Amino acid sequence: MSASSSSGDGLSRQRRRQWFEHEIERLMDRLYGTALRLTRHPDDAEDIVAESIGKAWTKLDELRDPERFEGWLFHILNNTFINEWRRRQCRPKLADDPDNCEPDDLDATHFSLFQQLHQPFLLWWGSTEDRFLNELLQDDLQQALDALPDPYRVIVVFVEVQGCTYGEVAELLGIPLGTVRSRLSRGRAMLQKVLWKQAREAGFTVDCRGTEGKPS
């Protein structure tokens, strides 16, 4: 190898590394936050982020369009998580059989927060939905997401947080599209039910409707 080409390689490698690190830094909090919601455990989240970044760095040549780096990296993160998740499952097909890990109190196929909150008439002081959303904190959402069983939480995170299409999720998890739909809809209902339960426990009330004190 000639001196000039070797120093050229060194320079471009250095530039590549700079670019890569800059991109990683920009995405780091979201990578970590997403991994944390997927795994629920800080140590596992760190492992998955580090492994994904390592993979991305070694496979960087495969990325044709640098503009798509973000989506590409999150795709690697998802796959890394899924591989690890599968590896850890004692029952090999748990991903396809979520019913046996679903707590009874989360049974919420059709639960809708909106229906709990919505007033059929307009209130001059603003809607209950607005008040609910305004009082909802990041911690509440994190707790509620973490309360969902894995097969549901993972799909909610893929779709609502990462904006994956149903087709992408089906491919990632190796499950039929219909299963993605039904689990997503159930996961959302569960999430809303947990948020509702948390809010009521924290003293949130729906005024003028008389639902207080009724068993749900």
Binding site for other proteins (CB under 8 A): 1, 9, 13, 17, 20-21, 24-25, 28-34, 36-37, 42, 46, 49-50, 53-54, 57-58, 113-114, 117-118, 127, 129, 133, 136, 138, 141-142, 145, 156-157, 159-161, 165-166, 184-185, 188, 191-192
Closer to other proteins at the Cβ: 45 or 95?
45
Q: How far is the CB of 124 from other proteins (least distance, A)?
A: 16
Q: How far is the CB of 147 from other proteins (least distance, A)?
A: 13
Give, in order, the Cα–Cα distances in Å from 30 to each of 36, 121, 159, 166, 187. Answer: 10, 40, 15, 21, 22
Q: How far is the CB of 92 from other proteins (least distance, A)?
A: 29
Find the DSSP H helices in the chain: 3-39, 42-58, 69-88, 113-117, 128-135, 138-147, 150-156, 166-173, 177-201
Compute the CA torsion angle 111, 177, 96, 150 (nearest 10 deg). -50
Measuring CA to CA, which residue among 92, 97, 79, 105 is closest to residue 162? 79
Token pair in block for residue 209:
């409707």
Q: How far is the CB of 144 from other proteins (least distance, A)?
A: 9
Closer to other proteins at the Cβ: 89 or 143?
143
Measuring CA to CA, which residue among 194, 183, 215 is closest to residue 106? 194
Contacts of residue 7, defined as CB under 8 A and 6 or more positions apart, other chains included, come to none
Closer to other proteins at the Cβ: 51 or 94?
51
Contact 156, 148 (CB under 8 A): yes
Closer to other proteins at the Cβ: 70 or 129?
129
Q: How far is the CB of 93 from other proteins (least distance, A)?
A: 26
Planar angle of CA 138, 141, 144, nearest 5 degrees: 150
Give, in order, the Cα–Cα distances in Å from 159 to each of 166, 183, 187, 199. Answer: 7, 11, 11, 24
Closer to other proteins at the Cβ: 50 or 101?
50
Closer to other proteins at the Cβ: 94 or 168?
168
Q: How far is the CB of 100 from other proteins (least distance, A)?
A: 26
